């Protein structure tokens, strides 16, 4: 078949192009413009070059937030991905129980972020919350408002509770797409359950896992609402993540220049890590 040289169908991309330009490119350009100026009001701005970038990169408060953010994102990924796969493997494949499991799994995903924070704020309290009360009853001195380790455990558990369902649902859809012939061949070969998982299910889950890991990384790296509602960033600054620091800077102090520089560095980190994840996973198959 000859290639069509003058393909007018490309014009159909124009609305998407305009929408992306309006909602992403123009705001991003504005942030770049703000990041090199000291903005006093809508009409008064002074060019300062890379001064804000230098200030932001040397700010220990932001460096600490960045380290906390990476630890948090990798902790939730390390828990949610294996747990999501395990849940998907254990779910029934057909019948009413399968529908019921799907509905139950979807419930946490439907709850607004600030409500999740509030649920866990109450759930973790030692006086009126079931989780906090139960831990204290068995002799564990748990208080997420005053103990850093407890605050971290609660913030990570909250994220696991909220988002493992997403990974599980993605993996479940991936597992359902595997043809029965693969399993029949494995049974003829007397493959163990582990061998079926390792050589049939896991490779076939790769594409959904790429999407799941990318979504969870980007989401967890930009987390704001849940920890803000649950701990307010405390005790001290122990659960203050990048977006909370950025919000304080941009809205609390109205330092638009440094906040813009910080936003761009934040964007570059998300872009780099997402690209590395995506490239590594998509090239693993090609190397085999």
Partner 1 sequence: MSWMAWTPVTASFFSIIAAILACMTFYEIKVPCTERKGFLPIPTTRGDRLFIGLLSSAYVHLLFVGFSEASLFIPLALCVVWLLCLLRWG
Q: Which of 23, 33, 114, 192 binds partner 1 (CB under 8 A)?
A: 33
* Phi-psi group of 3: left, alpha or beta (phi > 0 → left; psi -120 to 50 → alpha; rest → beta): beta
* Cα 198 to Cα 43: distance, rounded to the nearest angstrom: 62
**Number of CB atoms found within 10 A of residue 35's CB:** 24
- 85 to each of 131, 197, 202, how far by Cα in Å? 25, 10, 9
What is the dihedral angle through the alpha carbons of 244, 163, 195, 184, rounded to the nearest 10 degrees? -150
CB-nearer residue toward partner 1: 30 or 253: 30
Which among 15-23, 25-33, 137-145, 187-195 is the span making contact with partner 1, rule CB under 8 A?
25-33
Q: Verify binding: residue 53, partner 1, rule CB under 8 A.
A: yes
* Binding-site size, partner 1 (CB under 8 A): 27
Q: Which of 19, 21, 24, 57 binds partner 1 (CB under 8 A)?
A: 57
Site string for partner 1, 206-245 (x = CB under 8 A): ----------------------------------------
Which among 37-45, 71-79, 128-136, 137-145 is the span making contact with partner 1, rule CB under 8 A?
37-45
How buried is residue 41: exposed, middle or buried, by Cβ count under 10 Å (0-12/13-18/19+)? exposed
* Cα 208 to Cα 202: distance, rounded to the nearest angstrom: 10
Q: What is the DSSP letter of 192?
A: -
Instruction: Name the one residue in this structure whose structure tokens are 């804000």.
Output: 52
Q: Is the dihedral of CA 115, 150, 273, 262 positive or negative?
A: positive
Q: Which of 42, 107, 138, 188 binds partner 1 (CB under 8 A)?
A: 42
3-state secondary structure of 41: strand
Residues numbered 246 to 285 that lie near partner 1 (CB under 8 A) are 265, 268, 271-272, 275, 279, 283
Could you tell me the smallest distance in angstroms from the CB atom of residue 280 to partner 1?
9
* Cα 69 to Cα 73: distance, rounded to the nearest angstrom: 6
Q: Which of 1, 7, 47, 93 binds partner 1 (CB under 8 A)?
A: 47
Q: Is the dihedral of CA 163, 232, 268, 70 positive or negative?
A: negative
Q: What is the DSSP letter of 233?
A: T
Q: Which of 6, 58, 60, 137 binds partner 1 (CB under 8 A)?
A: 58
Q: Which of 221, 186, 218, 188 has the alpha carbon at shortest distance from 202?
A: 186
Which among 12-20, 32-40, 127-135, 193-201 is the span making contact with partner 1, rule CB under 8 A?
32-40
Which among 47-55, 97-105, 200-208, 209-217 is the span making contact with partner 1, rule CB under 8 A?
47-55
> Please, what is the angle between helix 206-221 and helix 60-90, to 10°?
150
CB-nearer residue toward partner 1: 21 or 100: 21
CB-nearer residue toward partner 1: 35 or 164: 35
CB-nearer residue toward partner 1: 47 or 194: 47
The contact set with partner 1 (CB under 8 A) reads 26, 29-30, 32-34, 36-37, 39, 42-43, 45, 47, 49-50, 53-54, 57-58, 265, 268, 271-272, 275, 279, 283, 286
């Amino acid at each position: 078949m000859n290639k069509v040289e003058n393909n007018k169908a490309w014009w159909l991309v124009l609305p998407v192009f305009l929408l992306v330009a309006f909602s992403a490119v123009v705001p991003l350009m504005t942030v770049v413009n703000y990041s090199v100026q000291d903005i006093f009001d809508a009409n008064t701005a002074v060019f300062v070059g890379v001064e804000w970038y230098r200030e932001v990169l040397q700010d220990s408060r932001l460096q600490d937030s960045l380290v906390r953010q990476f630890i948090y994102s990798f902790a939730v990924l390390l828990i949610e991905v294996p747990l999501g796969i395990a849940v998907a493997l254990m779910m029934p494949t057909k019948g009413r129980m399968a529908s019921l499991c799907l509905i139950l799994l979807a419930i946490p995903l439907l709850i607004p972020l600030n409500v999740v924070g509030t649920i866990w704020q109450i759930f973790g309290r030692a006086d009126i919350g079931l989780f906090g009360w139960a831990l204290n009853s068995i002799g564990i001195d748990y208080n997420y408002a005053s103990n850093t380790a407890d605050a971290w455990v609660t913030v990570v558990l909250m994220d696991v509770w909220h988002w493992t369902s997403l990974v599980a649902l993605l993996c479940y859809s991936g597992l359902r797409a595997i043809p029965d012939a693969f399993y029949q061949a494995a049974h003829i070969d007397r493959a163990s359950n582990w061998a079926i998982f390792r050589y049939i299910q896991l490779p076939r889950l790769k594409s959904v896992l790429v999407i799941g890991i990318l979504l969870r990384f980007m989401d967890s790296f930009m987390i704001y609402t849940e920890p803000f509602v649950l701990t307010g960033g405390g005790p001290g600054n122990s659960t203050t993540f990048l977006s909370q620091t950025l919000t304080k800077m941009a809205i609390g102090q109205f330092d638009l220049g440094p906040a813009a520089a910080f936003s761009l560095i934040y964007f570059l980190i998300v872009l780099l890590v997402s690209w590395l994840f995506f490239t590594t996973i998509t090239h693993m198959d090609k190397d085999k």
